Amino acid sequence: MLDIFGAIMGKVPYFGLLTDEGRQADWIVEVKTTKKPEAQILGSAIGLKVMDAVPYVKGLDKFLGTELNDETKSYLKDFGAATASNGAVGLYHIDNLTPEAQNYGEQLINKGAKVYVIDDKELERVYKSYPVLWKNKEAKPQLCFIGCPHLSYNQLEGWANDIINGLAETGSKKIKVRTILTTSPAIRKKFEETDLYKKLMKTGVKVSSICPLMYTNNPIAGKKPILTSSNKLRTYSSAKYLKDEDILNVIVGKEGK
């Protein structure tokens, strides 16, 4: 729409998040967890709370550091997708980490900003609030999607190693639930050239560039009991969300052990 408007007027409007006012934070989010919170659940909690306001997140740099490296960018990718898919505007500031927060710090916070404290108990409350939309809530999962948004290269390596090592711990060679790791075509091509990819293929896991959301929007596929570690996919489909550790246990057969 902006492209059309710009073509007609010769310029695009200067509004919303493009303005200084639109980038100011009306919420201070204080992360007080005992360990690094899962990006998907933290982002979901913040998105549900702040909605169309901008959050300034404090305490997360304790776990992420102050450098935007590949690992941190992967975390923020999932965090941002979860905030946006759960109602937020898609803009956030992480104290001592994101560029504007590094440059301006608490100057980005509006006077009278509300405070939202996230501790272990609050994260667990949010996690347990997610509904299970399967027709049969006790059904065995038929499919598992990991990577919505698509996995970065280091995330893909991490999941591959976790699955392979998890199977070794259970004494199994094959996964217990059909699992698809989704990533971009370029990353998939690079990964396919590695020995790790060959080892992963022996487990039965598939690596694809399919969009999980488009797949689950299919009326037939959407009725299947599908697991995911993506809050975005949980929000826009009937897929059931599990924490990374829990979903890994299901995949390798450690569930209930």
Please state the three-class secondary structure of the chain as a single string.
CHHHHHHHHCCCCCCHHHCCHHHCEEEEEEECCCCCCCHHHHHHHHHHHHCCCCEEEECCHHHHCCCCCHHHHHHHHHHHHHHHHCCCCCCCEECCCCHHHHHHHHHHEEEEEEEEEECHHHHHHHHHHCCCCCCCCCCCCCEEEEEEEEECHHHHHHHHHHHHHHHHHHCCCCCCCCEEEEECHHHHHHHCCCHHHHHHHCCCCEEECCCHHHHHCCCCHHHCCEEECCHHHHHHCCCEECCHHHHHHHHHCCCCC
User: Is there a contact between 74 and 38 (Cβ–Cβ < 8 Å)?
Assistant: no
Q: Are residues 14 and 89 in the same domain?
A: yes
User: Has residue 247 been placed in a domain?
Assistant: yes
| Residue 240 CB contacts under 8 Å (≥ 6 apart), including other chains | 132, 133, 134, 141, 225, 226, 227, 228, 234
Q: Are residues 94 and 210 in the same domain?
A: no
Q: Are residues 9 and 125 in the same domain?
A: yes
Q: Where is the domain boundary, 129, 157, 182?
A: 129
User: Has residue 138 been placed in a domain?
Assistant: no
Q: Are residues 111 and 156 in the same domain?
A: no
Q: Are residues 109 and 173 in the same domain?
A: no
User: Has residue 92 been placed in a domain?
Assistant: yes
Q: Which domain does 119 fall in, by range?
A: 2-129
- How do 25-31 and 206-208 pair as beta strands? unpaired
What would the two tokens of residue 173 be? 């060679």
Q: Which residue reads 């740099």 in tokens?
A: 61
Q: What one-letter code names the amino acid at 249?
A: N
Q: Are residues 26 and 118 in the same domain?
A: yes
pTM over 0.85: yes
Q: What one-letter code names the amino acid at 201?
A: M
pLDDT in tens, the chain (257 residues): 444 444 444 444 444 445 566 789 999 999 999 999 999 999 999 999 999 899 999 999 999 999 999 999 999 999 999 999 988 888 999 999 999 999 999 999 999 999 999 999 999 999 999 999 998 999 999 999 999 999 999 999 999 999 999 999 999 999 999 999 999 999 999 999 999 999 999 999 999 999 999 888 877 776 789 999 999 999 999 999 999 999 999 999 987 54
Q: Are residues 77 and 188 in the same domain?
A: no
d(CA 81, CA 86): 8
Cis peptide before 99 (omega within 30 of 0): no
User: Is there a contact between 176 and 141 (Cβ–Cβ < 8 Å)?
Assistant: no
pLDDT of 170 = 95
Domains: count for the chain: 2
**Half-sphere exposure (CA, 13 Å, Cβ side) for 125?**
10
pLDDT of 20 = 66
CATH of the domain at 162: 3.30.499.10
Q: Are residues 177 and 236 in the same domain?
A: yes
